[in-house]
Amino acid sequence: MAGIISAEDAIEFLLAGASAVAVGTGNFINPGATMDILEGIKTFMSSEGITSVKELTGAVKCRRDRS
């Protein structure tokens, strides 16, 4: 868990299976980072018709070639 500085970063972590993300150093760079990220996630969810963050969590599944 590291490097969350944008909504895109947070969404990628959620899609990969994270059930939570943390904004650390990003707050030093931009004191409003957490709220910007939250708004970005809300905007993305709205545009995609997603009603719950749980729908994002782990939505991208890795397929292993079993041949």
Residue-wise pLDDT tens digits, 4-39: 999 999 999 999 999 999 999 889 999 999 999 999
Q: Domain of 20?
A: 7-55
What's the pLDDT at 30? 93
Looking at the structure of the chain, the number of domains it has is 1
State how far Cα 39 lies from the chain centre.
11
> What is the pLDDT confidence band of residue 3, given thresholds at 50, 70 and 90?
confident
Show the tokens assigned to 37.
Answer: 């990220």
Is residue 2 one of the residues assigned to a domain?
Answer: no
Is the Cα dihedral 59, 56, 34, 48 positive or negative? positive
Is residue 28 one of the residues assigned to a domain?
Answer: yes
Is residue 51 one of the residues assigned to a domain?
Answer: yes
Is residue 64 one of the residues assigned to a domain?
Answer: no
Please say if the pLDDT value at position 1 is more than 90: no
22-53: burial string, b at 16+ Cβ within 10 Å, e else: ebeebeeeeeebeebbeebbeeebeeeeeeee
